[in-house]
Structure 1
């Protein structure tokens, strides 16, 4: 049947909302709710230029032992009083039958029938669910887009499509029959860039392309005359909590992470067997104690009496101090080029973990010897402050790094360069607070007033270059630290000079509301987290407009993190471009967790008492736990664990081999363990 986008859509009631279905192929085109009339929830053909009929809801592909196929419009659509049924012939022997029904929720059943005479092995199978998870602008994101929090834990699977402003209602997809073992992403490339999440494909399996994804992907053998089937419902809910109450989890956990000599306690909701990394675990009634002697992540399988199987991931570590000690040892031994010229031998560089080779590439902006690599020096600095590294060795390393930065990364007027040489050694506002804060702490550690003077000069230059209209990660924290030290030295006037641009910036951003300017990405978690910190530290607490702005920003920020029951996902903010910019493999797609996830934790930790909630406190804890996932068992932790099974057909669900800028996760955790002065 030919595609025809001109016919008026079919409208069905879905609870208090509606779903629009294409009259020709029966596919959902948009969901509508009276409280959010401009939000379509799904990508819109024409308006979202990169989204076409090829990735409409329900389109997809299958890889079998008898061939590989993508399907388009169905061959027939039968519309009846109770709903509609579509039939699509796929190859010679397969037929996809989809039934849809309206009501309290949209109910869908997919059946992949074997119409041939021999069994067919289904090795990968994916269905497009084109959630409108895009960053066209901050205003569009907050008013019309949604975060798609995806959970594919086998028989325990769902998607929470939550408006980016953190307000209800939410749209939820809940699997009711069958299993979803992974998801993949399509349409991610330099043309679509960093501002779109891509087409999210839900998958009963992706064995053909990535057999080890999510702990292992199944192969389904479909006998002649039988079908591989799954069903889900899609409906509106008042908020996140209301949706989660309907997802029927087989187990809950008191934590997703445990340290040395600790255990995670699971509580079964129904009779089931439990295994950790394939090893059965005894249950005590409905309780199960999960332990592991080896540090790292572990898969947990829950098999119910009905044979429905769910899988998730937990983390076991040997503690923060042990992780930091190991990591700093590797930083000092492997992340510096001892053969470099002059002071460059003290710079920290990315390392390809597959070879141990440093990767200083001044022609690629995120592989320089400056910018985000400053986090490595900050980690060494705070490990020394806590007494977790050798004082003499770390002193030499930090002194050398400070001389390198003064000579090669900072100009006389305080301008901060992105690297010491090459096409990308120009200035970038993000880099200013990181070096200012480093030199402020360096001044305290080694009693050097000239380092505090340099920190002041860097922050003044940031303000001069337009920093008050830019949400630089860490500026509010750096200004607070520098001002604190100025006051400690008896120079209150200089402290006020350091902090006044932040007060001006808070006024400016309060006046902007949802119209936040684009940064390196049009809208993202690391635009909102510095906004929260700015308003928390430098907003006007007695001004109702400022208080409301902070409340809004906190809600926006927390919405980036989903409630999936998995150490890499729970509360971790969505980021989906860092693998391309910072990794060796140049993979776009969801990175869980990314190290900048922790700036959500630092922002929420900066809140005044009146703004702190149980939910914000819990999100802080979950993010700090997740931030250790890539460090727990790796000497060279990855800069980007790209989580989906595949990105445009390339296998993912694995760490990128480049160890690059990830150390901010540990550095900011240690900085949060502040001691005086």
Structure 2
């Protein structure tokens, strides 16, 4: 018997990865002091016992009330450390020695599924065997900025302990091969209850179906108190008809083992989209005395109900906020093509006027149409250039071409991409590189010389990515989902352009890595949501690090799944694409407002979280992805 497990290394792991980081204690129990008006320490004591039996690690925590009065605890009053190595060093180290930790703290069937970043087994599973967890927090070293997710603090569900009374929290840790094996072993080591919805974000009028699979013969299974009937396959099922928008919490109980699941109902996509573009056009565009900003689409502060601009890169008038302009042009194109219907006939002309003003602003302030240079912000701040910007602004002009048919917009996009490669873009992994849109547009306007040059540049870029494999270059973050997803996306687009089968094979290698970021938990904040944990700091009003579930760039994975699914006729990837793309829509509110991200943990370094950040900043890419997916589905239907 040992007091704490210093290392967890699975015997069949050829990389001998230690699943516990050394800079935090394992299973350390922390008690938060009482109310600020009475900050005396609590009369609670904890005894922790950890036993290791081969590749199994069993930890038991006994919490006792040693005082003379009852102790009532809230969700965040007790924290138990779980120091998994979820941090970003270099890409090679990440592949073999780091993990993506997917936590589900929602009842007595809580679990953690930690996936090695490179995708190679064994992975780590943790399943609760006694007690109940309600949430988790993170404690981060801010000096490591975006590259360290921190130490997890598991929060037991609220307790009431009488004097001398004790309660137990216990779990078992084990190795597993993959997701199915994780759930199988979770049922082997505990009275586990697996739950899963067929969709987690749904539109009003749709139906979501819940499947419940206890790992034991349960006498009574309920969903929100309603008893369910066991089907022939041993599972229990129920459904929610989405007749009203909002969050729906469904708590499952199987002989006392509980699981809290969550789904979200949104307004129909057409209505969500129409309200959002109307809000952008009517409330998020600057029209005022600052001539250089005239026409700019800016951040909107939902708390204080006004526009916001700052010369800092993530709050300025350029960069990711071009997604709003792309969305406006994309919306008008879809309306023209009758891909979507219009409920309010005043919206399209409002959006058209706004888009024209924004396009004038972009041409005047953010690009040089002759050289293809994309500036980071309005003058005079034109010294900093960012490779990420070029593909986005090229995409904007390509969308303008799709709307208005002006060849000059295609040429502007081509010059931007030419300049991107002149500036070293071939060695970079850009987000949303418009391989297919540019080449198709160049072909349509008959510019075969530029088409040949663009095809050659894109092909060389893809071949370089294929050759690098999992050796990803560091970017603004050392290693992240939005490095891996663009690698796969470029490979798949160039495969579609050239028919090179080797690029499709290379893309599959990227998908294996990309999938490790994806959550499997039965909660719309987590299921098919990629792990990201810094965007709230950089793009949010409150500047808070911590798990951002969802963040709109998680939708990049949905696009990759869709491209691969269409390329291979794989219905599984097509279903996952739909789920991943819907999973970012919670950032678009039903009234037309929006948020740049949801900070998911209970707290981050003691600061309360669980909120949508007040800034509507750059999240409209979520709708860009949704409309593009509609186009992809339309093309697949026509092709069929």
Tell me the TM-score normalised to structure 1 length. 0.84
* Mapped contact 1:334–1:356 kept (Cα < 8 A): no
CA distance in 1, matches of 2:575, 2:85: 28
**Residue 35 (structure 1) aligns with:** 13
**What aligned pairs does 1:137-156 form with structure 2 within 5 A after superposition?**
137-156=90-109
CA distance in 2, matches of 1:422, 1:60: 53
Tell whether 2:527 aligns with 1:570. yes
CA distance in 2, matches of 1:68, 1:200: 28
**Residue 182 (structure 2) aligns with:** 243
**1:202 CA drift (Å):** 1.0
Cα deviation 1:18-69 (Å, max 9, x = unaligned): xxx7xxx5333332343333421222x3xxxxx3xxx211123112549999
1:665 is matched with which residue: 605, 616, 622?
622
CA distance in 1, matches of 2:419, 2:116: 37
**Residue 351 (structure 2) aligns with:** 394
Describe the SS at the equivalent of 1:316: strand
624-633 or 351-360: which moved more? 624-633
**What aligned pairs does 1:294-333 form with structure 2 within 5 A after superposition?**
294-306=244-256, 308-333=257-282
376-385 or 531-540: which moved more? 531-540
**What aligned pairs does 1:32-431 form with structure 2 within 5 A after superposition?**
32-43=10-21, 45=22, 51=23, 55-63=24-32, 65=34, 93-103=43-53, 105-123=56-74, 124-189=77-142, 191-205=143-157, 218=158, 220-247=159-186, 248-249=192-193, 251-269=195-213, 270=218, 271-275=220-224, 283=228, 286-306=236-256, 308-342=257-291, 344-362=293-311, 364-387=312-335, 388=341, 390-411=347-368, 412-421=370-379, 426-431=384-389
191-200 or 59-68: which moved more? 59-68
**Residue 16 (structure 1) aligns with:** none
Tell whether 2:432 aligns with 1:474. yes
**1:365 CA drift (Å):** 1.0
Describe the SS at the equivalent of 2:175: strand
* Mapped contact 1:369–1:419 kept (Cα < 8 A): yes
* Mapped contact 2:71–2:161 kept (Cα < 8 A): yes
1:514 is matched with which residue: 470, 489, 493?
470
CA distance in 2, matches of 1:320, 1:377: 19
CA distance in 2, matches of 1:568, 1:538: 32
CA distance in 1, matches of 2:196, 2:492: 34
Describe the SS at the equivalent of 1:418: coil
Cα deviation 1:407-450 (Å, max 9, x = unaligned): 10002311101211465772111111111111112123112111
Describe the SS at the equivalent of 2:530: coil
**1:574 CA drift (Å):** 0.4
**Residue 539 (structure 2) aligns with:** 582
161-170 or 641-650: which moved more? 161-170
**1:563 CA drift (Å):** 0.8
**What aligned pairs does 1:445-460 form with structure 2 within 5 A after superposition?**
445-460=403-418
Higher helix share: 2
CA distance in 2, matches of 1:488, 1:671: 19
**What aligned pairs does 1:534-549 form with structure 2 within 5 A after superposition?**
534-538=490-494, 546-549=503-506
574-583 or 547-556: which moved more? 547-556
Query: 1:542–1:109: structure 2 CA closer, same or farther, 3 Å change rule?
Result: same
Describe the SS at the equivalent of 1:102: strand
Describe the SS at the equivalent of 2:129: strand
* Mapped contact 1:580–1:586 kept (Cα < 8 A): yes
CA distance in 1, matches of 2:95, 2:38: 37
CA RMSD of aligned residues (A): 2.6
**Residue 210 (structure 1) aligns with:** none
CA distance in 1, matches of 2:241, 2:67: 48
* Mapped contact 2:278–2:351 kept (Cα < 8 A): no
**1:303 CA drift (Å):** 3.5
Describe the SS at the equivalent of 2:103: strand
Cα deviation 1:153-180 (Å, max 9, x = unaligned): 1112100111111221111000111111
499-508 or 583-592: which moved more? 499-508
**Residue 233 (structure 2) aligns with:** none
Tell whether 2:556 aligns with 1:556. no
Query: 1:32–1:273: structure 2 CA closer, same or farther, 3 Å change rule?
Result: closer
* Mapped contact 1:168–1:238 kept (Cα < 8 A): yes
**1:617 CA drift (Å):** 2.7
CA distance in 2, matches of 1:383, 1:309: 43
Gaps of 5+ in 2: 187-191, 231-235, 336-340
